[in-house]
């Protein structure tokens, strides 16, 4: 029973991390129809900004606040300069964002000197209930993820800005004709997706260390999660990320981790094959 509780907590917290990373990816994919191959590197940037703030002596929570803002701003700029040229050719978008990701990754590698760097947790220690230890910081990650998700959903569902975003998502030409500035909406959405990734990076850097190849791991996991979850809605990427994150954390308890690692992806592909629209099918971006 003890093991079950600990396992559930660990699996939940890992799933939360994957959700944060994938949420941004899913929103960008649903909205603009492109897969952002640089999303992993946005996570890396969020982690790096947090480390930078820490290394000049400022408190870590400040870094965690600065990271999504900085990465979001960068995402905004990149969208305006580079990404918006790719909307007509999603395949070229994948490769263009891959090139962007390569540049960011190598730049960070140069800046960190190729080393693995550590950042302390803002709230360390563990909560002890009976004989079980639950790492406090991982619990905080779960709480923050839930809050962010709730806030995003509220933003989309209950504000006029969210209304405009949803309109652009469902019918871009009609939205433009109605006077909604879709260009600005896209920029803000991309920035939002980037900011989410930056936040994820900031939150997880105390758990794993900072190193240049941090983002690569999330790339494939992210894509599979988005496809499993389904495009065109908010709940889709969340569902997909939860499923993938949970399975990735849960299977190693049952079998050799090497096999578990591959099995998750293989199962996901088989699932998508037989249910191409994913778990949650939304109206998506149909042009």
User: Nearer to other proteins by C-beta: 198 or 206?
Assistant: 206
Burial class of residue 136 (count of CB atoms within 10 Å of its CB; 0-12, 13-18, 19+): middle
Binding residue for other proteins (CB under 8 A) from 52, 156, 176, 211?
Answer: 211
Query: How big is the chain, counted in residues?
Result: 287
DSSP state of 209: -
244 contacts 224 by C-beta, under 8 angstroms: yes
Shortest Å, Cβ 208 to other proteins: 5
Interface with other proteins, residue 57, by CB under 8 A:
no
Pick 172 or 198: Cβ nearer other proteins = 172
Residue 277 is a binding residue for other proteins (CB under 8 A): yes
What number of helices (H) and strands (E) belong to the chain?
11, 2
Q: Judged by CB under 8 A, does residue 265 bind other proteins?
A: yes
Residues 225-264 that bind other proteins (CB under 8 A): 227, 231, 248-249, 252-253, 256-259, 261-262
CB-CB contact of 27 with 237 (8 Å): yes
Burial of 109 (0-12, 13-18, 19+ CB in 10 A): middle
Instruction: Transcribe 21-42 into DSSP letters.
Output: HHHHHHHHHHHHS---TTHHHH
Residue (69 or 87) nearer to other proteins, CB: 87
Tell me: does residue 77 bind other proteins (CB under 8 A): no
- Residue identified by tokens 């029973």 is 1
The Cα–Cα gap between 48 and 40 comes to 12
89 binds other proteins (CB under 8 A): yes
**Interacting residue with other proteins among 6, 146, 147, 174 (CB under 8 A):** 6
Q: Any bridge partners for residue 135, and if so which?
A: 126
Q: Which of residues 120-139 bind other proteins (CB under 8 A)?
A: 120, 126, 133, 135
- 174 makes contact with other proteins (CB under 8 A): no
Q: How many CB atoms lie within 10 A of CB 113?
A: 8
**Choices 43-51, 68-76, 86-94, 147-155; region in contact with other proteins by CB under 8 A:** 86-94
Residue with Cβ nearer other proteins (11 or 167): 11
Phi, psi of 135 (to 5 degrees): -60, 125
Report if residue 76 touches other proteins, rule: CB under 8 A.
Answer: no
Residue 12 as a binder of other proteins (CB under 8 A): the answer is: no
Q: What values do phi and psi take at 146, rounded to 5?
A: -60, -45
Which of residues 27, 70, 202, 224 is near other proteins by CB under 8 A?
224
207-223 per-residue burial string, b: 16 or more CB within 10 A, e: under 16 = eeebbbebbeebbebbb
- Among the residue ranges 67-75, 156-164, 186-194, 224-232, the one whose residues contact other proteins (CB under 8 A): 224-232
Interface residue with other proteins among 109, 153, 166, 176 (CB under 8 A) is 109
Give the residue, chosen from 62, 95, 123, 154, that forms a contact with other proteins under the rule CB under 8 A.
95
x/- binding map, residues 15-34, to other proteins, per CB under 8 A?
--------------x---xx
207 binds other proteins (CB under 8 A): yes
């Amino acid at each position: 029973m003890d093991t079950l509780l600990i396992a559930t907590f660990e699996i939940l917290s890992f799933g939360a991390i994957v959700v944060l990373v994938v949420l941004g990816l899913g929103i960008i994919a649903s909205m603009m129809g492109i897969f952002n191959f640089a999303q992993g590197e946005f996570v890396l940037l969020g982690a790096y900004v947090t480390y930078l703030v820490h290394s000049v002596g400022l408190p870590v929570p400040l870094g965690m606040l600065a990271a999504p803002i900085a990465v979001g701003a960068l995402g905004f700029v990149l969208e305006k300069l580079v990404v918006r040229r790719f909307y007509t050719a999603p395949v070229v978008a994948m490769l263009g964002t891959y090139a962007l990701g390569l540049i960011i990754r190598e730049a960070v590698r140069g800046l960190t000197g190729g080393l693995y760097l550590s950042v302390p947790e803002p709230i360390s220690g563990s909560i002890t209930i009976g004989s079980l230890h639950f790492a406090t910081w991982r619990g905080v990650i779960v709480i923050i993820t839930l809050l962010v998700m709730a806030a995003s959903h509220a933003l989309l569902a209950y504000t006029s800005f969210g209304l405009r975003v949803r309109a652009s998502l469902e019918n871009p030409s009609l939205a433009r004709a109605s006077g909604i500035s879709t260009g600005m909406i896209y920029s803000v959405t991309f920035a939002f997706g980037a900011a989410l990734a930056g936040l994820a990076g900031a939150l997880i850097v105390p758990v794993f260390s900072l190193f240049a190849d941090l983002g690569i791991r999330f790339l494939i996991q992210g894509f599979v999660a988005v496809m499993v979850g389904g495009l065109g809605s908010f709940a889709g990427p969340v569902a997909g990320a939860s499923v993938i994150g949970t399975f990735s954390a849960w299977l190693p308890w049952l079998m050799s981790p090497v096999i578990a690692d591959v099995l998750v992806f293989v199962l996901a592909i088989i699932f998508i094959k037989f249910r191409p629209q994913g778990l949650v099918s939304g109206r998506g971006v149909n042009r």
